[in-house]
Amino acid sequence: MSRTAAAPPTIEAGGGGGAQLAGAAAVPASSVLTAASNYDGGAATAAPTPSTATTAAGAPTSTAASPAAKASAGATASAAAAGTAGSSKLGLLYAVTRGQPTNYDMLVFRTLNRELGRPNANADTLAARLRDELMPRRSWLLKHLPGSRAQLRRTLENPLWGVPGAVNFIDARTKWFDGAVTEALADGIQQVVIVAAGYDTRAYRLGAPGVRFFEVDLPAASSAKKALVEKLKFVEDPARLPTFVAADLSRVSLAEALAGTAFEPSQRTLFTVEGLIYYLPQAAAGGLLAALSGLAVPGSRVYFDFMSLDALEGRGKFPGFKVTRKSVANKGEPFLSGIGPSREAVAAALAPHGLGLRAFLAPKDMVGLMLPHESWSDSSPPIASFYYYAAADK
């Protein structure tokens, strides 16, 4: 739970904060996300400590589930607890990663391939404007220091100390969620609910007449985002602005948060959950899926990305995973849950919530779909190899 109000947009340092979830599924507030400055969500609020996240990971839940459903839905308690451990406070990785919120870092990553002129870069033309407003000093260096963008990318993806495919991961994921929105709108869906919206810009880039977007986030984060969007004039017509839903979903259900807005419960809806599931304790991750399913009428869709349970539990080789895990834990934003990296495991995680698997993409699938110019390599993958992607139908 965020403990302070969002920092002004010009502040570059600070912890993370994002929407806290699963209230609709009767998950207690203590077991809901407390480290939710996810890859694209949240505002510059104070980050919770790893000990808080550890407590949340082990908190009981009143949501009934069979042992089989619990096994398929997320990481074991031991894996979740291990994920809260960052690097030594005396180490270089701790010093480098501690200060900058994860969502700020990923906002920078979202601009790199576009500005380097690399093929198949994402189409988020607004990300650079957000970066410039939120991180003026960092942006100035990237713009004016010769070779700084290319050097940053090489440093981030160095196989010795970085995460191979980190920047491409953001490109591919952004393109995939963009495609989810454009496909849904083309199929006649006219409501889009963006959970833990943070610095998502799809409402401003992909909106169309008659389509309603709802950006759900914590009150402080929602207020800061609204002020930022208005300042940068992302939308000239106020009628085209999304509905900013300011709610702490550990205290109210998603249905309650949307009540009193223009959200129409009887209409098909696209729900997107980007860069969030892996920061939720297992019970809260399942509670979020249940909450979304409870709001969705037949024909609705849910798109989300998730962490490989094999990576969380130390099975297999995932280049860059240990660095990533320690980096987010250093910020008080540890990885807490995962799903088995197979179509069958994801379908089993969705089934208890009345959701059917619509799409499943492994990292190699995502490269072929979104980054066809890249060649796959197990030892140095062109995209972070521990993130997977899924879509569900109601």
Higher pLDDT, 52 or 141: 141
pLDDT digits (tens, 9 = 90+) for 285-340: 999 999 999 999 999 999 999 999 999 999 999 999 999 999 999 999 999 999 99
Does a structural domain hold residue 75?
no
Mean pLDDT within 379-383: 96
20: pLDDT strictly greater than 80: no
Least confident window among 80-89, 138-147, 240-249: 80-89
pLDDT of residue 292: 97
Domain shared by 109 and 182, yes or no: no
Distance CA 240, CA 212 (A): 8
Domain shared by 119 and 194, yes or no: no
pLDDT of residue 67: 33
49: pLDDT strictly greater than 70: no
Domain shared by 147 and 273, yes or no: no
> How would residue 61 be classed by pLDDT, with cut points 50, 70 and 90?
very low
Domain shared by 151 and 202, yes or no: no
pLDDT of residue 96: 73
Whole-model pTM?
0.82
Does a structural domain hold residue 324?
yes
CATH of the domain at 213: 3.40.50.150
pLDDT digits (tens, 9 = 90+) for 216-270: 999 999 999 999 999 999 998 888 899 999 998 888 889 999 999 999 999 999 9
Domain shared by 107 and 256, yes or no: no
Domain shared by 226 and 308, yes or no: yes
Distance CA 190, CA 170 (A): 26
Domain shared by 238 and 315, yes or no: yes
CB 256 within 8 A of CB 245: no
Q: Which residues contact 63 (CB under 8 A, 6 or more apart)?
A: 25, 26, 27, 283, 286, 287, 290
> How would residue 24 be classed by pLDDT, with cut points 50, 70 and 90?
very low
Does a structural domain hold residue 63?
no
Among 157, 190, 208, residue at a domain's last position: 157
Number of domains in the chain: 2
CA–chain centroid gap for 234, Å, is 22
54: pLDDT strictly greater than 70: no
Domain shared by 311 and 277, yes or no: yes
Domain shared by 198 and 293, yes or no: yes
Domain shared by 343 and 232, yes or no: yes
pLDDT of residue 366: 98
Does a structural domain hold residue 188?
yes
pLDDT digits (tens, 9 = 90+) for 143-158: 999 999 999 999 999 9
Higher pLDDT, 341 or 85: 341
Least confident window among 47-56, 186-195, 352-361: 47-56
pLDDT of residue 37: 31
User: What domain range is 108 assigned to?
Assistant: 90-157
Does a structural domain hold residue 305?
yes
Domain shared by 248 and 326, yes or no: yes
Mean pLDDT of the chain: 81
Domain shared by 184 and 303, yes or no: yes
% of the chain exceeding 70 in pLDDT: 79
Does a structural domain hold residue 313?
yes
Number of residues in the chain: 394
Does a structural domain hold residue 74?
no
Does a structural domain hold residue 386?
yes
Q: Which of 239, 180, 181 is nearest to 210 (CA)?
A: 239
